[in-house]
């Protein structure tokens, strides 16, 4: 079911939606993990069974499960990613969370994403950031409303996304339930992959 944020977004005119389209999207640690674990389907459309996905470590998710739906959405997002306007950001805090998994393959995947993100920054010739993100991130440290609303790990990720001037955070985490409040107060969308697909559906013909 679409969230209130997505429903309200899609009720706007096509020009208003295009103007507010999230372009720079921060990848939460759990999304980085899922892309790595289910990469054969996401990038190669390989599916061993029609009714379930089996990840690289044997994790199984069945059709109709929340994670199954999100993997389908990640496939749609990354199917033609080179033709989309999206920029995917990650941070050192994501790296530190991944390191605690003690998974060499996952760490290597993070390095690939990090190289990609650094290339995105480099290609913008010093114009990737306005500096406003750093100012906003400093202000967050004094804002108890968001600190009390999120766990410490989530707050670190949220702060990184603000500092990197992201338009959205892509996550499968529970703090997405606060997306209306977060968007109203901080101007950043917290989206499940399925939210992003629904939110951008009117523009799919531009790149798919």
Give the tens place of pLDDT for each residue, 67-101.
888 988 998 898 878 888 999 999 999 999 999 98
Instruction: Report the sign of the C-alpha dihedral through residues 176, 42, 81, 198, in that order.
Output: negative
pLDDT reading at 1 higher than 60: no
Residue 163 lies in a domain: yes
Residue carrying the six token digits 């199917």: 79
Q: Quick check: 79 and 208 in contact, CB under 8 A?
A: yes
139 in a structural domain: yes
Alpha-helical runs (H) found in 88-177: 92-99, 104-123, 132-140, 144-149, 152-163
Residue 81 lies in a domain: no
Based on the structure, what is the number of domains in the chain? 1
Q: Which residue has the tokens 């995917």?
A: 88
Neighbours of 104 (CB within 10 A): 8
* Cα radius of gyration (the chain): 17
CA distance 87 to 98: 21
Taking CA atoms, 122 is separated from 29, 56, 78, 144, 153, in Å, by 23, 32, 22, 34, 28
pLDDT the model gives residue 95:
97
pLDDT higher than threshold 80 for residue 42? no
CA dist 157 and 163 (Å) reads 10
Q: Would you say residue 151 lies in a domain?
A: yes
Whether residue 197 lies inside any domain: the answer is yes
Sign of CA dihedral 12, 188, 206, 38: negative
136-147 residue pLDDT tens: 999 999 999 999
Q: Is residue 42, in this structure, part of any structural domain at all?
A: no
Comparing CA positions, the residue from 4, 2, 1, 24 lying closest to residue 183 is 4
CA distance 85 to 82: 8
Which pTM does this prediction carry? 0.93
pLDDT of residue 138: 95
Fill in the DSSP letter of residue 26: E
C-alpha pair distances (Å), 23 with each of 14, 132, 167: 16, 17, 6
**Average pLDDT of the chain, as a whole number:** 89
| Token pair recorded at residue 179 | 């997306």
Assign 46 a pLDDT band (cuts: 50, 70, 90): low
pLDDT of residue 22: 96
Q: Is the pLDDT of residue 55 over 70?
A: no
Owning domain of residue 186: 4-30+87-201
Given a cut of 80, whether residue 26 has pLDDT beyond it is: yes
């Amino acid at each position: 079911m679409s969230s209130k944020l997505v429903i309200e977004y899609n009720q706007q005119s096509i020009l208003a939606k295009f103007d507010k389209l999230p372009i720079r999207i921060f990848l939460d640690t759990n999304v980085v993990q899922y892309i790595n674990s289910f990469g054969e389907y996401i990038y190669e459309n390989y599916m061993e069974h029609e009714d379930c996905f089996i990840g690289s470590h044997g994790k199984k998710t069945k059709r109709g499960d929340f994670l199954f739906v999100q993997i389908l959405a990640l496939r749609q997002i990354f199917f033609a990613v080179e033709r989309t306007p999206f920029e995917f950001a990650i941070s050192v805090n994501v790296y530190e969370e991944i390191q605690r998994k003690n998974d060499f393959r996952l760490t290597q995947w993070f390095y690939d994403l990090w190289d990609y993100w650094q290339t995105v920054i480099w290609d913008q010739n010093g114009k990737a950031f306005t500096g406003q993100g750093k100012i906003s991130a400093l202000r967050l440290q004094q804002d108890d409303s968001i600190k009390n609303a999120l766990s410490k790990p989530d707050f670190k990720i949220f702060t990184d996304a603000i500092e990197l001037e992201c338009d959205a955070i892509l996550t499968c985490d529970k703090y997405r339930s606060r997306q209306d409040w977060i968007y109203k107060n901080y101007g950043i969308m917290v989206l499940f992959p399925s939210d992003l697909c629904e939110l951008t559906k009117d523009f799919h013909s531009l790149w798919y």
